Amino acid sequence: MSDITKILGQRIRNYRTAKGLSQEKLAELSGCHPTYIGQIERGEKNATIESIEKIAAALNVSLSKLFEKLGVREDGMRNIPLECYEFLSAKTKDEQEHIYCILLEMDKYKKN
């Protein structure tokens, strides 16, 4: 599948886990099958806009938030800050804190 499909699936997973929902609970709230939710989250299925709308509503997240800054930059360059955000969003809060501390230490070292 495309990078967009994988990124969107990861975003859905990030919102779901942040809200403490299982795939089964999200499936129940959205009216989708649990297997379908898993396939979307792994980027294996190209979900319909109707399904994404149901999932977004179940997560209480706007469609615009799910699709925010999704895709390639106009100049064709990588969007490193967005890639970092997507990477960190997929981690637990503890992992995020550890990575942030590592980055701060690296930044201190760079300045010396």
Judge if 24 and 56 occupy the same domain.
Answer: yes
How many angstroms separate the CA atoms of 70 and 30, rounded? 22
Phi-psi region of 54 (alpha: psi -120 to 50; beta: other; left: phi over 0): alpha
Residues 36 and 10 both lie in one domain? yes
Identify the pLDDT of residue 24.
97
Asked whether residue 39 falls in the same domain as residue 89, the answer is no
36 shares its domain with 85: no
Indicate whether 36 and 65 sit together in one domain: yes
Question: Residue 64: pLDDT above 80?
Answer: yes
Print the domain residue range for 106.
Answer: 73-112
Hey, CA dihedral for 84, 90, 95, 97, is it positive or negative?
Answer: positive
34 close to 45: Cβ distance less than 8 angstroms? no
**Residue 69 — left, alpha, or beta (φ > 0 → left; ψ -120 to 50 → alpha)?**
left
Name the average pLDDT for the chain.
Answer: 88
Q: Are residues 59 and 25 in the same domain?
A: yes
Look at residue 1 and tell me whether its pLDDT is greater than 80: no
> Per-residue pLDDT for 61 more than 70?
yes
Q: Are residues 86 and 100 in the same domain?
A: yes
Q: Considering just the CA atoms, what is the radius of gyration of the chain in Å?
A: 16
User: 49-59 and 34-41 are packed helices; what angle lies between their axes, rounded to 10 degrees?
Assistant: 100
More confident residue, 105 or 89: 105
Q: Give how many domains the chain has, as a whole number.
A: 2
Q: What integer pLDDT is reported at residue 91 of this predicted model? A: 81
CA dihedral 68, 69, 74, 80 (to 10 degrees): 180
For residues 92 and 64, membership in a common domain is answered with no
pLDDT tens, residue by residue, 29-47 = 999 999 999 999 999 999 9
